[in-house]
Amino acid sequence: MATYPTLPTAVGSDPEFISMSDIDRAEDGTARVRSYGTDKAKFKVVHSYLTAAQKSTLDSFYTTNRLLPFDYTSPADAVSRSCVFAGAPSYKQEPATYYTATVQMEQV
């Protein structure tokens, strides 16, 4: 399995957890929880001020792995998770030849 490239990651690119359970209420108001498995994480990762070479690395990684799971280690909690892309990276041109990339992914 491929490993997500090491790129500068902005503060705030923390995992957001997706609950894999539903809470229902009985007629008397009692709560019941149904679990569909373990909670998963989703990410909105921001890479600030990438060089043209780093942008090219990210583009190449996305093209190669856009439909495949890959390993991503979040700098926020240092946990490695198997993830898939939730869409193509988006870019914002910064001064000179730098770019800010936003990448959305979800744990499988």
Question: How high is the mean pLDDT of the chain?
Answer: 93
Average pLDDT over residues 66-87: 96
Query: In terms of residue numbers, what domain contains 94?
Result: 2-107
Q: 38 to each of 18, 41, 91, 104, how far by Cα in Å?
A: 9, 10, 32, 20
Q: What is the pLDDT of residues 9-40, one digit of tens each?
A: 999 889 998 877 888 888 888 988 888 778 89
First to last CA, the chain: 13
Question: Number of structural domains, the chain?
Answer: 1
**Residue 29: what pLDDT?**
86
